[in-house]
Amino acid sequence: MGFRTRCAFLAIPALSVALAAAGNKPSDAPPEPRYDTATVADLEMVVVETREVAKGNPLAGVHLLARLESRQDSEPLDVYLAPSEFIKQFDLTFHAGDRVEVIGSKVKLGAVPVILTRELRRSDTTLYIRDQKGEPIWKFLLKGSS
Protein backbone atom coordinates (compact mmCIF):
# COMPACT_ATOMS: atom_id res chain seq x y z
CA MET A 1 0.00 0.00 0.00
CA GLY A 2 1.42 3.37 -1.09
CA PHE A 3 1.69 6.54 0.94
CA ARG A 4 -1.26 8.20 -0.87
CA THR A 5 -3.52 5.20 -0.24
CA ARG A 6 -2.72 5.23 3.49
CA CYS A 7 -3.45 9.00 3.67
CA ALA A 8 -6.79 8.46 1.93
CA PHE A 9 -7.75 5.71 4.41
CA LEU A 10 -6.84 8.00 7.33
CA ALA A 11 -8.68 10.99 5.86
CA ILE A 12 -11.99 9.20 5.26
CA PRO A 13 -12.76 8.52 8.97
CA ALA A 14 -11.77 12.07 9.92
CA LEU A 15 -14.00 13.49 7.20
CA SER A 16 -16.88 11.24 8.29
CA VAL A 17 -16.58 12.45 11.90
CA ALA A 18 -16.48 16.10 10.79
CA LEU A 19 -19.55 15.72 8.57
CA ALA A 20 -21.47 13.91 11.31
CA ALA A 21 -20.62 16.64 13.82
CA ALA A 22 -21.73 19.35 11.38
CA GLY A 23 -25.02 17.54 10.84
CA ASN A 24 -25.71 17.31 14.58
CA LYS A 25 -26.70 20.94 15.05
CA PRO A 26 -29.72 21.35 17.31
CA SER A 27 -32.71 20.68 15.10
CA ASP A 28 -35.11 22.12 17.66
CA ALA A 29 -34.25 25.65 16.52
CA PRO A 30 -36.65 26.57 13.69
CA PRO A 31 -35.18 28.14 10.56
CA GLU A 32 -35.26 31.92 10.43
CA PRO A 33 -38.43 33.09 8.65
CA ARG A 34 -38.30 35.09 5.44
CA TYR A 35 -40.14 38.32 4.73
CA ASP A 36 -43.26 37.65 2.66
CA THR A 37 -44.70 40.62 0.75
CA ALA A 38 -48.03 38.75 0.48
CA THR A 39 -48.55 38.94 4.27
CA VAL A 40 -47.73 42.62 4.86
CA ALA A 41 -49.94 44.37 7.41
CA ASP A 42 -50.14 47.91 8.78
CA LEU A 43 -50.87 47.68 12.51
CA GLU A 44 -51.47 50.24 15.26
CA MET A 45 -49.92 48.73 18.39
CA VAL A 46 -49.05 49.43 22.01
CA VAL A 47 -45.69 48.21 23.32
CA VAL A 48 -45.91 45.81 26.25
CA GLU A 49 -42.23 44.94 26.56
CA THR A 50 -38.90 45.30 24.77
CA ARG A 51 -36.43 42.44 24.69
CA GLU A 52 -33.15 41.57 23.05
CA VAL A 53 -32.51 38.11 21.61
CA ALA A 54 -28.86 37.07 21.80
CA LYS A 55 -26.71 36.45 18.73
CA GLY A 56 -26.71 32.86 17.56
CA ASN A 57 -30.49 32.57 17.85
CA PRO A 58 -33.00 32.99 15.03
CA LEU A 59 -34.00 36.65 14.67
CA ALA A 60 -31.28 37.86 17.02
CA GLY A 61 -31.71 41.50 17.94
CA VAL A 62 -34.40 43.84 19.24
CA HIS A 63 -37.98 42.62 19.60
CA LEU A 64 -41.08 44.39 20.84
CA LEU A 65 -43.93 42.51 22.41
CA ALA A 66 -46.95 44.58 21.47
CA ARG A 67 -50.74 44.35 21.46
CA LEU A 68 -53.05 45.64 18.80
CA GLU A 69 -54.24 49.06 19.91
CA SER A 70 -57.83 48.17 19.04
CA ARG A 71 -57.72 44.92 21.07
CA GLN A 72 -55.82 45.47 24.30
CA ASP A 73 -57.15 42.15 25.66
CA SER A 74 -55.36 40.23 22.86
CA GLU A 75 -52.16 38.25 23.30
CA PRO A 76 -49.04 40.33 22.59
CA LEU A 77 -47.39 39.75 19.22
CA ASP A 78 -43.65 39.37 18.71
CA VAL A 79 -42.47 42.26 16.55
CA TYR A 80 -38.91 41.76 15.30
CA LEU A 81 -37.15 45.02 14.50
CA ALA A 82 -33.51 44.34 13.54
CA PRO A 83 -30.10 43.41 14.94
CA SER A 84 -29.26 45.37 18.09
CA GLU A 85 -26.28 47.12 16.46
CA PHE A 86 -28.57 48.59 13.80
CA ILE A 87 -31.21 49.85 16.25
CA LYS A 88 -28.56 51.34 18.58
CA GLN A 89 -27.30 53.57 15.75
CA PHE A 90 -30.54 55.55 15.99
CA ASP A 91 -30.53 56.02 19.75
CA LEU A 92 -34.13 54.81 19.99
CA THR A 93 -35.61 53.19 23.05
CA PHE A 94 -39.05 51.72 23.48
CA HIS A 95 -41.07 51.54 26.68
CA ALA A 96 -44.25 49.83 27.79
CA GLY A 97 -47.19 51.97 26.74
CA ASP A 98 -45.52 53.48 23.65
CA ARG A 99 -47.93 53.67 20.73
CA VAL A 100 -46.35 52.56 17.46
CA GLU A 101 -47.42 51.88 13.90
CA VAL A 102 -45.79 48.76 12.49
CA ILE A 103 -45.72 47.88 8.81
CA GLY A 104 -44.34 44.40 8.32
CA SER A 105 -44.78 40.84 7.21
CA LYS A 106 -46.75 38.47 9.44
CA VAL A 107 -44.89 35.13 9.34
CA LYS A 108 -44.16 32.24 11.70
CA LEU A 109 -41.01 31.27 13.58
CA GLY A 110 -41.78 27.61 14.09
CA ALA A 111 -45.37 27.74 15.30
CA VAL A 112 -45.11 31.23 16.81
CA PRO A 113 -46.40 34.24 14.84
CA VAL A 114 -43.92 37.06 14.42
CA ILE A 115 -43.95 40.33 12.50
CA LEU A 116 -40.82 41.14 10.51
CA THR A 117 -40.88 44.93 10.59
CA ARG A 118 -40.32 46.95 7.44
CA GLU A 119 -41.20 50.35 8.92
CA LEU A 120 -41.90 51.53 12.44
CA ARG A 121 -43.47 54.89 13.35
CA ARG A 122 -43.68 56.46 16.78
CA SER A 123 -44.97 60.01 17.09
CA ASP A 124 -43.04 62.02 14.50
CA THR A 125 -40.22 59.46 14.11
CA THR A 126 -40.13 56.84 11.35
CA LEU A 127 -37.56 54.05 11.34
CA TYR A 128 -37.05 52.33 7.97
CA ILE A 129 -35.78 48.80 8.59
CA ARG A 130 -36.40 47.01 5.27
CA ASP A 131 -37.06 48.08 1.71
CA GLN A 132 -40.38 47.48 -0.11
CA LYS A 133 -39.33 43.93 -1.05
CA GLY A 134 -38.40 43.14 2.54
CA GLU A 135 -34.62 43.23 2.11
CA PRO A 136 -32.99 44.32 5.38
CA ILE A 137 -31.44 47.78 5.22
CA TRP A 138 -28.97 46.79 7.95
CA LYS A 139 -27.19 44.49 5.45
CA PHE A 140 -25.90 47.61 3.76
CA LEU A 141 -25.01 49.44 6.96
CA LEU A 142 -23.55 46.77 9.23
CA LYS A 143 -20.43 44.88 8.27
CA GLY A 144 -20.68 41.10 8.69
CA SER A 145 -24.47 41.02 9.14
CA SER A 146 -26.62 38.51 7.38
Kindly state whether residue 125 falls inside one of the protein's structural domains.
yes
pLDDT given for residue 122 in this prediction: 94
Single out the residue of 42, 35, 26 nearest to residue 59, CA to CA.
Answer: 35
32 found inside a domain = no
- 101: in domain: yes
* CATH code for the domain in which residue 105 is found: 2.40.50.140
How many structural domains comprise the chain? 1
Q: What is the pLDDT of residue 72?
A: 75
Where residue 32 falls among pLDDT bands split at 50, 70, 90?
confident
pLDDT at 82: 96
Decide if 23 is inside a domain: no
pTM of the complete model: 0.76
112: left (phi over 0), alpha (psi -120 to 50) or beta: beta
Q: How confident is the model at residue 28 (pLDDT cuts 50, 70, 90)?
A: low
What pLDDT does 25 receive? 45
Asked, for residue 26, whether it belongs to a domain, the answer is no
Checking if the pLDDT of 97 tops 50, the result is yes
Residue 86 lies in a domain: yes
Residue 139 has pLDDT above 80, yes or no: yes
Question: Is residue 108 a part of any domain in this protein?
Answer: yes
60, part of any domain: yes
Q: Domain containing 61: what range? A: 37-141
Average model confidence (pLDDT) across the chain = 82
pLDDT above 70 (res 146): no
95 pLDDT band (50/70/90 cuts)? Answer: very high
The pLDDT assigned to 2 comes to: 54
